[in-house]
Amino acid sequence: MNGGRITFAYYMAFIALLTNMELIKKVYLSRTNGNAKVELTKEEMLNAAQHFSQITPMEMSILFQLISLLRKDG
């Protein structure tokens, strides 16, 4: 995003993120051995997601942008 404008690529990645949310949950749970209370860094999630061709780095970036907005820790 730049200056409040959303690119088509960003939009498509956001839609894909919503579509792949169950797969992202599966990646997270497989990386944490089923423990939903473990926090992972963006790098750890990117590394785990590399094994799934459906998840792109841009989707992970958007996910962590949303998480940072929810947590208010920037």
pLDDT tens for the 74 residues of the chain, in order: 556 899 999 999 999 999 999 999 999 999 999 999 999 999 999 999 998 888 999 999 999 999 998 887 55
pTM: 0.82
User: Is residue 53 included in any domain, yes or no?
Assistant: yes
Distance CA 34, CA 16 (A): 24
User: Is residue 56 included in any domain, yes or no?
Assistant: yes
Distance CA 2, CA 73 (A): 21
Distance CA 16, CA 73 (A): 25
8-40 b/e with 16+ CB inside 10 Å = b?
A: eeeeebbebbeebeeebeebbeebeeeeeeeee
Domain housing 19: 8-71
User: Is residue 3 included in any domain, yes or no?
Assistant: no
User: Is residue 63 included in any domain, yes or no?
Assistant: yes
User: Is residue 26 included in any domain, yes or no?
Assistant: yes
User: Is residue 2 included in any domain, yes or no?
Assistant: no
Count of domains in the chain?
1
User: Is residue 1 included in any domain, yes or no?
Assistant: no
User: Is residue 67 included in any domain, yes or no?
Assistant: yes
Distance CA 50, CA 34 (A): 19
